Structure formats: structure tokens, C-alpha cells
């Protein structure tokens, strides 16, 4: 896990901005102008009125099993222990070392909840109370069968590294709504990085200017490495130093009119200075009430880290951060991640307990504060897991059919799409990752086909040449 430091942030901001911003004017944004692009944080107007101001992207890295959380399949229970029927396996190319085991039934207890009647297993007792705010996308599909490839596609719309993350595109298209904080913040949680597909490669800015990359916040009081003022330096000294640098840069700029790199570097010093106050304050949970901390599970062993991340996410939303990417990880060494190739019951028991209460708390908290209407919460993963077993009690990777969900910001609750009778393949309401991305951009007021950036002679788009908005779930 690599965390961005202030030094990285400044370097990227200073060096990345000017050069790329002006040099690649493929932009079709409504109000973009060269002057605005010199400052990558300058707010820009969306293509049409936005329903959401911020996105909280909950990435369940490692890939949970929809079949044990949301996608109830009685036929799979009936067929458990039998080989995968040919009728389901037609043209299926499995790329697993473990082979295709016999069908594996869920061991969970299932119920329908709320007015929408959404099925949720007893792995998620708290989230089940929030289903009436959620649109379940049960016909999701993707490509690839390895974590890294499918995670790249989920986050960057590419199968190889080099394309910008969705959060980077959002920042590029809309700028920042808070000049004192990064517009794209990443909150990684957990120990280890099993399975891959969860490092900086999924939140970098690819061919967009480096200033648009996600800024990974660290745990603890000082979220950005090297952000705090060095010991022995007081505020007035630092301010004097920055003022001197600014005056020297202004003097130098007289002979370098149009030098956007110099202007960007000067701006980045001021941004960092402001962030010394704004970033620690944004993640300071001592200002939250005990009841709010409890709502997220902060302070409880299983939920403390993920709950802390989500409470920070809410605070960042309140401070108008556009895109907050939260990555779910293992709370301890007892499991790797959601990647349950074996002992799924134990794995999902631990992982579900880690996220269930914090996510339910986040939805309830956003709603009670009137923020859910303008905040889009997205739960997704690089793929799902197979209905056939692996290692006797686990499940393999399933890119052909799985569940994601969205809530809040202009989303109509309910269930959209389905998988086949055993949950192997998406059958109706198919939503590819491009469509998920297009829908998120739409809720932010962006037309995925009109956000463009010229790179190597081509007009690149966030969702490549694909991506249809899932209109059926729009409120």
C-alpha cells in the first residue's frame, strides 16, 4: 500500500497541471477555458443539473459473494452438491486453477426486507434495515477473472494500467468544490493487499494530469504524509517563508508569462498550507458525538477501522469533496479480504461484520442530516463469486453475474436486473462496469460521452466507447 505524501501531492500538482491541462484541450466541458484549466481545482459547471454533489464509492476488494449476501437462489440450494449443469455452463470459459467444483448452496438465512422487498442474508443484519434507500443492480457483469484486471476495468474502464480512475475524471470534469482539500480522496482500510487490484493503480490519474489522482489518506490524526509542519517551526515562520517564496515566484513569473507550471507550483504551496489545517480537521472524529461514533461502529473491535473511514467519508462529503473511494480490507490476519476461495462462511462472517454496521450507519447518518439526496453511495466489487464451489467450502471468481448497489443522489430504490436461476450469469437488466460508471457520471450532471481528453491523438472518454446510463434506476 503506498500512501501519497504531501511531497508527492505537491510535486504532481506542480508538475502535472500546467503541462497537461493546456496541452490537451480535447475538453468538451461547458465552461472550460484555458484560464480555468491552468488551475485544475477551479470548479467547472456540469453538462446538466446534477442530482448528486459527491460520491462515496465503497469498493469491496477481493469480491464478496452476491449469492451469500443479496442474490437469493432457491434453485441453487436444491441443486447443491451436483455438477454445474451443461445448460448453465454453455460457452463458459473458466480460468481457475481449482477447477469447477459441484454447486455450493448458501448456508445463510434469507429474508425480504422493507417496502421494496429486497432479499438480504443474515450476514448483513444492519444493512437489511436500509434497503428502502437502495437500488440493487443484480445483473452486473464484467470481464476478466483476476482481481487486478477486473479491478482496473471497474475503476478505470481499461484492462491494463494507464487509464484514469473514475474519481480522476470527475475531478477533471468538475474541478474542486473545496479549494482546501483534494477533490478525490481514497480511504484504504485493512491489513495486507491480498488478491491485488487495490493499490494506487486503481486511483491514479493515468493520462490525465497528475493533479487529478486520488489522494490516499492515512489512518490517524495526520491524514497526509509530511503534511504537518516540522517540529520547531512555528506558523509565522512558515508563513513568512511561503510569502518570500511567493514573492520570488511572482518576480520570476514576470519574465515567464504563460508558464503554467510555475503558477501551478506556487498555487500548490498555498494549497498545502491550507491543507495543514483543513485535512486534519476534516478527519477529526473527536468533534462527533458519542452516538454518531457508535452508529458507525467506531470504538468496537470489528468495525472501528471501517467505521472510522466511513465517518471520515461523511465529514469529507460535508466539506464538498467530490469523490471518496473507500476500500474494504481485512480487519486482521484471520482472513485475507473478501476473496473466499475457501472457508467462505468464516471469511464472509468476518468481512460482513466489518462493513455491515458502518455502511448501515453511513446511510442512516447521511439521511438524517439531509445529505443522502445529494450523495451517491455505491457498493461494488471487481466481480462476484461462483455458484459452484472451490476447495469444498469456498467460491471462485465470477465476472459473469453479480450484485452491485447504489443509494442516494438521484437514485430510485428497488431491484433492477437478475442473474440466472443459480446466480452464475447476468440474465436481465445487464449492467456492465461502463454502464455503472456512466450512471454515476450522469448523477453528477456529466454526460460520459462529452467528457473527453485528447491523448496520443485520440479523444479519450471515461467509459471508452461504451457506457449506457441505467435509466431505470434514476429518480
Partner 1 sequence: MKFTKKTLPIALLWLVLAGTAVSADVDVDADLMRGVDDTAKSLDSNVAQKDGKAAAADARSLVETFAQVEAHYGAKPETVDAVGFAHHTQDLAAQALKAIEANDFDAAGEAVNQLTRSCKTCHEVYKKD
Q: Which residues bind partner 1 (CB under 8 A)?
A: 26, 28, 91-93, 399-400, 425, 430, 432, 449, 452, 454, 457-460, 464-466, 468
Q: Cell triple for residue 415?
A: 431491484
Q: Determine the length of the chain.
A: 475
Smallest separation (angstroms) from partner 1 to the CB of 425: 8
Q: Phi first, then psi: give them for residue 337, nearest 5 degrees.
A: -175, -160
Q: CB-wise, 269 or 466, nearer to partner 1?
A: 466
Closer Cβ to partner 1, 368 or 459, answer by number: 459
- The backbone torsions φ and ψ at residue 454, rounded to the nearest 5 degrees and listed phi first, read -85, 125
- Minimal distance, residue 21 CB to partner 1, in Å: 19
What does DSSP assign to residue 225?
B
Residue 432: strand pairing partners: 141
Give 268 or 452: the residue with its C-beta nearer to partner 1.
Answer: 452
Q: What is the smallest separation between the CB atom of 462 and partner 1, expressed in angstroms?
A: 13
Q: At what angle do helices 344-368 and 304-318 cross, to 10 degrees?
A: 30
Judged by beta carbon, residue 255 or residue 465, the one nearer partner 1 is 465
Backbone angles phi, psi at 263, to 5 degrees: -60, -40
Sequence-distant (6+) residues with CB within 8 A of 255 are none
CB nearer partner 1, residue 139 or residue 179: 139
DSSP H/E element including 381:
none
Alpha carbon 333 to chain centroid distance? 24
Among 471, 375, 472, 323, CA closest to 133? 375
To partner 1, the closest distance from the beta carbon of 466 in angstroms equals: 6
Shortest CB 433 distance to partner 1, Å? 12
Minimum Å gap between C-beta 34 and partner 1 is: 18
Q: Which is nearer to partner 1, 326 or 431 (CB)?
A: 431
Closer residue to partner 1 (CB): 269 or 455 = 455
Query: What three-state secondary structure class fits 201?
Result: helix
CB 137 within 8 A of CB 427: no
Q: How far is the CB of 441 from partner 1 (least distance, A)?
A: 15
Give the Cα separation of 400 and 32 in Å (integer). Answer: 39
Pick between residue 329 and residue 384 the one whose CB is nearest to partner 1.
Answer: 384
Helix (H, G, I), strand (E, B) or coil at 470: coil
Nearest in space to 29 (alpha carbons), one of 463, 409, 445: 445
Q: Minimum Å distance from CB 28 to partner 1?
A: 8
Amino acid at each position: 500500500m503506498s500512501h501519497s505524501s504531501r511531497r508527492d501531492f505537491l510535486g504532481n500538482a506542480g508538475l502535472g497541471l500546467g503541462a497537461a491541462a493546456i496541452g490537451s484541450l480535447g475538453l468538451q466541458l461547458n465552461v472550460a477555458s484555458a484560464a480555468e484549466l491552468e488551475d485544475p481545482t477551479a470548479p467547472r459547471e456540469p453538462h446538466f443539473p446534477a442530482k448528486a454533489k459527491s460520491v462515496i464509492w465503497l469498493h469491496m476488494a477481493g469480491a464478496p459473494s452476491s449469492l451469500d449476501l443479496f442474490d437469493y437462489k432457491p434453485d441453487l440450494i436444491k441443486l447443491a452438491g451436483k455438477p454445474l449443469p451443461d445448460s448453465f455452463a454453455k460457452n463458459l470459459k473458466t480460468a481457475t486453477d481449482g477447477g469447477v467444483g459441484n454447486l455450493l448452496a448458501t448456508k445463510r438465512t434469507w429474508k425480504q426486507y422493507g417496502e421494496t422487498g429486497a432479499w438480504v442474508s443474515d450476514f448483513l443484519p444492519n444493512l437489511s434495515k436500509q434497503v428502502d434507500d437502495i437500488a440493487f443492480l443484480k445483473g452486473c457483469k464484467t470481464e476478466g477473472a483476476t482481481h487486478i484486471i477486473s479491478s482496473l476495468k471497474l475503476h478505470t474502464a481499461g484492462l491494463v494500467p494507464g487509464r484514469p480512475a473514475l474519481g480522476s475524471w470527475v475531478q477533471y470534469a468538475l474541478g474542486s468544490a473545496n479549494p482546501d482539500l483534494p477533490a478525490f480522496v481514497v480511504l484504504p482500510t485493512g491489513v495486507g493487499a491480498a488478491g491485488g487490484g487495490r493499490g494506487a493503480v486503481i486511483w491514479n490519474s493515468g493520462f490525465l494530469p497528475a493533479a487529478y489522482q486520488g489522494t490516499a489518506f492515512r489512518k490517524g490524526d495526520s491524514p497526509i504524509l509530511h503534511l504537518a509542519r516540522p517540529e520547531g517551526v512555528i506558523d509565522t515562520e512558515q508563513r513568512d517563508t511561503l510569502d518570500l517564496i511567493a514573492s520570488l515566484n511572482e518576480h520570476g513569473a514576470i519574465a515567464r508569462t504563460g508558464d503554467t507550471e510555475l503558477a501551478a507550483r506556487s498555487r500548490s504551496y498555498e494549497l498545502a498550507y491550507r491543507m495543514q489545517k483543513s485535512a486534519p480537521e476534516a478527519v477529526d472524529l473527536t468533534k462527533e458525538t458519542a452516538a454518531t461514533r457508535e452508529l458507525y461502529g467506531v470504538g468496537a473491535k470489528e468495525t472501528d477501522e471501517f467505521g472510522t473511514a466511513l465517518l471520515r467519508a461523511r465529514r469529507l462529503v460535508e466539506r464538498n469533496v467530490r469523490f471518496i473511494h473507500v476500500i474494504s480490507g481485512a480487519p486482521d490476519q484471520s482472513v485475507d479480504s473478501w476473496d473466499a476461495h475457501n472457508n467462505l462462511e468464516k471469511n464472509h462472517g468476518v468481512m460482513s461484520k466489518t462493513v455491515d454496521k458502518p455502511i448501515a450507519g453511513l446511510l442512516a447518518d447521511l439521511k438524517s442530516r439531509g445529505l443522502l439526496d445529494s450523495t451517491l453511495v455505491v457498493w461494488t466489487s471487481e466481480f462476484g463469486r461462483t455458484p459452484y464451489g472451490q476447495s469444498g467450502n469456498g467460491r471462485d471468481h465470477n465476472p459473469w453475474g453479480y450484485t452491485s448497489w447504489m443509494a442516494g443522489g438521484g437514485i430510485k430504490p428497488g431491484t433492477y436486473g437478475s442473474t440466472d436461476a443459480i446466480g452464475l450469469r447476468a440474465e436481465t437488466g445487464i449492467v456492465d462496469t461502463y454502464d455503472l460508471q456512466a450512471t454515476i457520471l450522469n448523477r453528477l450532471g456529466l454526460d460520459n460521452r462529452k467528457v473527453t481528453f485528447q491523448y496520443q491523438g485520440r479523444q479519450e472518454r471515461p467509459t471508452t466507447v461504451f457506457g449506457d446510463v441505467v435509466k431505470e434506476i434514476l429518480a
